[in-house]
Amino acid sequence: MAGEKEDTFTEDEVFQALRPGMPEAEARRLAKYMADDPSSPELIRLEEAEGPVSSMYSEGMLLLLSLVSSETQRKAEARVARQRLQPELTPEQHAEWEARRLELRQRLIDGGQLPAED
């Protein structure tokens, strides 16, 4: 599928998304295995051992990823649309997604896990 390479997440992007909610060492370890960047050494090793891997991110994880940067926000929205079998989110779906994203961001800011500036 053409969009698959455009919305893959690197180990660092996954780490940045997980870091506010868990210890750094645990976030780094989990990020190695969650990243679906085709150039990731962990993914290549896993594919050699177990065959092609299809990484599935929940919408909750995609919301976390969308808070890392504008690039991960774009990729997360593209992944959500693809998982919903759509080329892109409808305006209503985008508004709902953005409301959920901003609510999560505010909760993380209120909890001191994210800085207030964007």
Question: How do residues 14-57 score in pLDDT, each as one tens digit?
Answer: 999 999 888 999 999 888 888 876 665 555 454 555 544 445 68
Whether the predicted pLDDT of 88 surpasses 90: yes
- Residue reference for tokens 């868990």: 22
Question: How do residues 60-72 score in pLDDT, each as one tens digit?
Answer: 999 999 999 999 9
Mean pLDDT over the full length of the chain = 82
Tokens representing residue 10 in the block? 């690197």
What integer pLDDT is reported at residue 38 of this predicted model?
61
**Mean of pLDDT values over 71-92:** 93
What integer pLDDT is reported at residue 118 of this predicted model?
53
What integer pLDDT is reported at residue 41 of this predicted model?
59
Whether the predicted pLDDT of 112 surpasses 60: yes
Whether the predicted pLDDT of 1 surpasses 50: no
SS (H, E, C) 36-98: CCCCCHHHHHHHHHHCCCCCCCCHHHHHHHHCCCHHHHHHHHHHHHHHCCCCCCCHHHHHHHH
Residues above pLDDT 90, as percent of the chain: 51
